[in-house]
Amino acid sequence: MKRTVGVNNAILAMTLVLFAGPHLSRLWAQSGTWATKAPMPTPRDGLSAAVMNGKLYAVGGIPAQFTCSYLANNEAYDPTTNTWSILAAMPTARESLAVGVINNILYAVGGGTGCGVFSAALEAYDPATNTWTSKKPMPTVRRLHAAGVANGILYVVGGYDGNFTATVLAYDPVSDTWTYKAPMSSPRDTLGVGVVNGRLYAVGGNDGTENLKTVEAYDPTTDTWTNKAPMPTLRTNFSVGVANGLLYVVGGQDANGLLASVDVYDPASDTWSTVSPMPTARFGTAADSINGTLFAIGGATNSGTIFTTNEAFSSTSPFAQFSAELEVQDDPLGFELDAAFTLAAGSSGINPLSQAVTLQVGSYSTTIPAGSFTQGKQGTFKFEGTLNGVALEVKIEPLGNNAFKLKAEAQGVDLTGASNPVIIGLMIGNNNGTTPATVEF
């Protein structure tokens, strides 16, 4: 005898509303985990970080508090091997600099080069040759500024040049020239900048009187700034990284001391949420993301401890759509599942060849380890095997446009007394979703 389990359309419609639309990225930002990775070779804070070719580059910084001896170090982290490499040092040792990447060239701009000494230097690093080249310096010196890249242009925002500044400078690497752009509404240093969909978001900072929650968005096509929802946590000396279309504001300090907390900004809905705090509270970190995983490196404590710490946050990305049909068998015990899912617009994709796949059908749950699938014709992924006494066959077929079909058959699972509704869950890498199904008895 088979019991057909169909999707309850009313409940499914509600579920799809939850998993789709402008609040999608906020929902997946609210879950995720931190993991400790291989530490940097050199302890430092006041460094900057950028990603090229799947590697995280850590540049500059300060090796100890209350010193005027700064670093030119350039080290690269490879997440596939969880190892660091020591690379050619910058020509100019400095801290509180900013970096950006254009066409696989890293540009390091400004920073402090000594106690009370600020730099306008712009130096370009080519990972293909492991060499640095000096470029045209900024028109003005500054440190504690931030930078972002949009449409092949490096924008340097705010900072301190002897005064707190709202100035915005744009560097064109093709012509090796600088131009002034519309300033922010408020001067500030120790701010963070993230770029999403070609717009720069300037977050927080200090205006010389107080720390700020201010958020402004810059549109390069109109050369204009727009005020956005303020940051929920008043903090300074934090870092900003962008992952899956979201801005992560990481660590820093407030009036009570060090922060491990992480605020997350969704530009699509102009709203803030929070995720799990970093394992290590610190300020002066640098942050960036690789394939949707956020890395927070380095930093310091108020007592003068300087970190080599490298901690990684992986968020989960709910499917934009997920539906399922299920047949429950009592002779032999088992089930047949047919499902369809579509990845979210901000998803970094799935690869069952290298990612674990977790399947939940009511009370039954199993994880197929990474590396267990094979890939056949038309790109279909297939697993056949026995896990914890259950004979399982799973096929995942790509349909194009981030849509997939999944078929799973299991023998040795007793779902005949399943409660109503049955919950179907699926996680591939950090992409996941659940959908309810109503048992027809």
The pLDDT tens digits of the residues spanning 212-254 come to 999 999 999 999 999 999 999 999 999 999 987 889 999 999 9
Compute, in degrees rounded to 10, the torsion defined by CA atoms 67, 115, 149, 76.
-30
The fourth-level CATH superfamily of domain 32-315 is: Kelch-type beta propeller (2.120.10.80)
Distance, in Å, from the CA atom of 297 to the CA atom of 201, rounded to the nearest integer, reads: 21
- Minimum mean pLDDT among 69-78, 110-119, 151-160, 266-275: which range? 266-275
Q: What's this model's pTM, rounded to 2 decimal places? A: 0.73
The confidence score (pLDDT) of residue 3 equals 34
Distance, in Å, from the CA atom of 235 to the CA atom of 213, rounded to the nearest integer, reads: 8
Strands lying side by side in the sheet with 192-196: 192-196, 199-206, 211-219, 224-228
Mean of pLDDT values over 76-96: 96
436 pLDDT exceeds 60?
Answer: yes
Mean of pLDDT values over 264-273: 91
Q: Provide the residue ranges of all domains of the chain, joining segments of one domain with +.
A: 2-23+318-439, 32-315
Per DSSP, the three-state class of 426 is strand
26 pLDDT exceeds 60?
Answer: no
Mean of pLDDT values over 82-87: 97
Q: Are 70 and 307 in contact (CB under 8 A)?
A: no
pLDDT-derived band at 47, boundaries 50, 70, 90: very high
Cα angle for residues 123, 125, 293 (degrees, 5° grid):
115
The H or E element spanning position 199 is: strand 199-206
Q: Which residues contact 232 (CB under 8 A, 6 or more apart)?
A: 213, 263, 272, 274
Distance, in Å, from the CA atom of 262 to the CA atom of 273, rounded to the nearest integer, reads: 9
pLDDT-derived band at 185, boundaries 50, 70, 90: very high
